[in-house]
Amino acid sequence: MWFRDVATLWGLAALVASSPLASVENVNRRQGTPTPTLEPCAQVSVILNPTGVPTDNPRPTEVPAEIAYQCLISIPLNVTSAKAILFELPLYLNWQSTLGALKDPPPEYVEKIQDPVDILAGLDAISALIDQEYISDEWSFGWALYKLLGAAHDGHLAYVLDVVGEVFSFTRPLPLVSVSEDGSKLPAVFAYTDILGLQFKNISYAPSAIVKIDDQDASAFLEDLSQQGSLQDRDALYNNLFYNLAQISLGTGGSGLGGFTGAGRGRYVPLNANTTLEFANGTKLTIVNTAKSYFNFQNVTSGADLRRKIVFDEDSDAKLRPEVIPPASAPPELNQAAAPPLGYPAPVVPGPQNLINGFYIDGPGYENVAVLQVPSFVSSSYAELAFQVTSQKFLQKAWSEGKTKLIIDLQANGGGTILQGYDLFKQLFPTLDPYGGSRFRYNLALDLIGQAFSGAVGQSPRDAGLKNITLRSIQSSYFDYHTDQTADGKPFDSWAQKVGPNTARKGKKISRVSLPTLTRADNYTSISRWNTTDIYIPYQAGINITDFSNQTRWKSEDIVLLTDGYCASTCSIFAELMTQQGHVRTIALGGRSNANRIQAVGGVKGANIYQWAFIQQYAAQAIYLNNTFQTSALKEYNSGKALGRSYGNGINVRDAVRSDDDSGIALQFKYEEADCRLYFTPEMTVSVTAIWKAAADALWSDPSKCVGNVGYYNPSNARRAAQGKTTTLSPARGQMRGAQALRQMKAFEDTFSLATNCKSEARDGFMPPC
């Protein structure tokens, strides 16, 4: 078996069982090969355009998943292009803040979170596998790269080759949910349509749990599938497979119906022709898997034809632009309020496009509870001010109207503008100075860019760029050492002081004589912090950081952060500020079917993402500012092979580090349990109010409802949960009649969409859903 060679090439026996490359052969083996008269890509072309008449606007159409996969693996590999990509990737991967730490992470990370991965060695292995012709088609090459970087489980780190991301989106047509019957029994997996019918009393049978998927134990199948996701925590990954109201509330900015259906990054995962579900009551259901294409397949009769449309020709550097069909309609204005999300009540203070909303909870016993729903920290400059105004207005209103308890609902929050997280923290804790320490992994290109930027504009007044856009972009960047401040809140004296490099553990300075040898070492820049009073903050964040809290006076014990584990990037920064400095407690929802405590923050805990083109742009600017760098390492960024073939990419350039932590361990590698864990119940899949009530009850009324009790673990409750597992749910009694019931049912069915929007601005702290 060829994948045994991977262990030899990488020298990492631990990677064999979960090799990012082994899945290539596994997929080939399980799909089988159809024997039609037409080649697979020609079959796709016929399905997408059955009349054969050329059209300027072919519509996206679903094709059988197996044919789509066979089409992808029939695209012959352009070895020249593949080798060029492999040569360029380390230029950008050396900016990955966790690159060295991923090879040898802390023991607790390996025990509780993920396995180690040596990404640079993995690139060498892929190159060797191409030489040995084990990888001979474009898709297998792209999938190997995607899996390799995905093994880091860092939502900021990705490289999606065009053939993996642009051609097909694989999908299963049935969303799932994982629910506990009563909030105490262990949860089980159900078809969402069954739970929907149960809640709307539109069925008379008892929904039965799914116990097997494709003849495997359902939990084991789903846990394995969840590892294709970009989150790091295994319970958060598990949650992201399922239908979730918070993700739905974000529309195309969320991960849709869940990874099992192929939403978010799940759409890249190739599928068998069918998926068979077996239920606890002995019945079975087989669903047909499909792949949707937005690509123009006109005149495509083979994989070679398709390659000519999307990849470099071997004899030319020119690339034909992918013929992808644009969306049918433009997105709504982001600064406008939208209709309330499905499953949510009407907000008391609505925000822009459901990126933030303020709610009260109706019902006796909840009169003093306010809910600020924050499923995003905004990744578009158009909504920055509206987002801030919403939180200011709601917090002031809620406090003035007697709300003394505050739930901050962070479900589905993949991050956004970093300083929006700082601003919300300052609204709640105006007297605290947010720490937010971070560091870059030292590399020579970063140092040279900083030398060029700081050297060119270091003597200019900080307000000189207010009208000069070019100067402003340089002076507001990390690479002008005046931009931010030291770990103890003082200005940096020079770029040399800021860049270091320093050792990870004690911050010890390293001799700059040995800089070129540091390419793969665990050495970092000095810890820096945002200067929230800097003159350029409004240009970086789109807002001024709030100085006052609008007279809100909630105490730490009266605030709770509520997550489903999908809290990443800026959300993790906000959570760090709130828990470490604000001493606010956390509640985590869902998770795998056990009674263990789980993490509240399960996404990337890195502090900043750069798109690769952003790094390339910085390198070019540095050479322009200092022409002596024309022959330096920066010249290597001039090539565009990797960027030209990328459907999506990103690098986590900054580690987040905790104040007064001498361990040198980034937050990405720390495991920290929530104060309380709650299971999802059937009602919570259709009404977010049920979630808020359960959270309020657990924190302020009855802590015994937590699987992990607030402030301490509750073993008796854990034992009760372990003693009973949900297998069937009580059938609905009576029918919910009338037009209203039908409208509600139809409204939820209409949310079944796999569309996502991966757009991210260069300096965001945002984990794209795909």
Q: Which amino acid belongs to residue 212?
A: K
pLDDT reading at 727 higher than 70: yes
Q: Lowest-pLDDT range, 121-125, 150-154, 637-641?
A: 637-641
At residue 742, the pLDDT reads 47
């990488």: which residue's tokens?
Answer: 10
Grade residue 10 by pLDDT with cuts at 50, 70 and 90: very low
Compute CA 394 distance to the chain's CA centroid, rounded to the nearest angstrom: 28
Higher-confidence position of 767 and 274: 274
Residue 492 tokens, joined: 């940096």
At residue 427, the pLDDT reads 94
CATH code for the domain defined by 173-289+336-430+546-606+666-770 = 3.90.226.10
pLDDT reading at 712 higher than 50: no
CA 535 – CA 46 distance, rounded (Å): 58
Residue 692 tokens, joined: 């808020």
CA 580 – CA 599 distance, rounded (Å): 15
> What DSSP character marks residue 703?
G
Q: Lowest-pLDDT range, 82-86, 309-313, 597-601?
A: 309-313
Among 35-49, 527-541, 578-592, name the most confident range. 578-592
At residue 264, the pLDDT reads 86
Q: Sort strands 485-486 and 646-656 into parallel, antiparallel or unpaired.
A: unpaired
Q: Sort strands 369-373 and 176-179 into parallel, antiparallel or unpaired.
A: unpaired
At residue 381, the pLDDT reads 72
Nearest partner of 441 among 90, 14, 124, judged by Cα: 90
Q: Which amino acid belongs to residue 39?
A: E
Asked if 185 and 725 count as a contact pair (C-beta separation under 8 A), the reply is yes
Domain regions of the chain by residue span: 4-170+294-310, 173-289+336-430+546-606+666-770, 438-543+607-660
Tell me what percent of the residues of the chain surpass a pLDDT of 90.
68
Q: Read off the pLDDT of residues 86-132 as tens digits, 9 standing for 90 and up.
A: 999 999 999 999 999 999 999 999 999 999 999 999 999 999 999 99
pLDDT reading at 75 higher than 80: yes
Q: What is the pTM of this model?
A: 0.89
Beta carbons within 10 angstroms of residue 421's beta carbon: 28
In the chain, % helix, strand, coil (3-state, to 5) comes to 40, 15, 45
pLDDT reading at 23 higher than 50: no
CA 465 – CA 485 distance, rounded (Å): 19
Q: Lowest-pLDDT range, 58-62, 161-165, 336-340, 418-422?
A: 58-62
Compute CA 566 distance to the chain's CA centroid, rounded to the nearest angstrom: 8
Asked if 375 and 246 count as a contact pair (C-beta separation under 8 A), the reply is yes
Cross-strand partners of 286: 276
CA 565 – CA 233 distance, rounded (Å): 8
Grade residue 48 by pLDDT with cuts at 50, 70 and 90: confident
Average pLDDT of the segment spanning 620-627: 95
> What DSSP character marks residue 267?
G
At residue 157, the pLDDT reads 97
Torsion of CA 191, 192, 198, 201, to 10 degrees: -130
At residue 685, the pLDDT reads 96
Grade residue 57 by pLDDT with cuts at 50, 70 and 90: low
Average pLDDT of the segment spanning 231-250: 96
Average pLDDT of the segment spanning 526-553: 85
Q: Read off the pLDDT of residues 489-525 as tens digits, 9 standing for 90 and up.
A: 999 999 999 998 887 654 455 544 444 433 334 799 9
Cross-strand partners of 159: 649
Residue 651 tokens, joined: 């690098």
Asked if 311 and 137 count as a contact pair (C-beta separation under 8 A), the reply is no
Average pLDDT of the segment spanning 528-532: 95
pLDDT reading at 318 higher than 70: no
At residue 55, the pLDDT reads 60
Higher-confidence position of 301 and 335: 301
Q: Read off the pLDDT of residues 424-469 as tens digits, 9 standing for 90 and up.
A: 999 999 999 999 999 999 999 999 999 999 999 877 888 888 888 8
At residue 203, the pLDDT reads 86
Average pLDDT of the segment spanning 634-650: 91
pLDDT reading at 194 higher than 60: yes
At residue 92, the pLDDT reads 97
pLDDT reading at 344 higher than 70: yes
Grade residue 423 by pLDDT with cuts at 50, 70 and 90: very high
Q: 378: left (phi > 0), else alpha (psi -120 to 50), else beta?
A: left
Query: In a 3-state reduction of DSSP, which class is residue 499?
Result: helix
Asked if 317 and 77 count as a contact pair (C-beta separation under 8 A), the reply is no
- Sequence-ordered alpha helix ranges (H) in 155-214: 162-165, 192-199
Cross-strand partners of 766: 415
Q: Read off the pLDDT of residues 325-341 as tens digits, 9 standing for 90 and up.
A: 434 444 445 556 678 88
Q: Read off the pLDDT of residues 651-708 as tens digits, 9 standing for 90 and up.
A: 999 999 999 898 889 999 999 999 999 999 999 999 999 999 999 999 999 999 998 5
Q: Lowest-pLDDT range, 166-175, 250-259, 329-338, 679-688?
A: 329-338
Asked if 161 and 102 count as a contact pair (C-beta separation under 8 A), the reply is no
Q: Calculate the average pLDDT of the chain.
A: 85
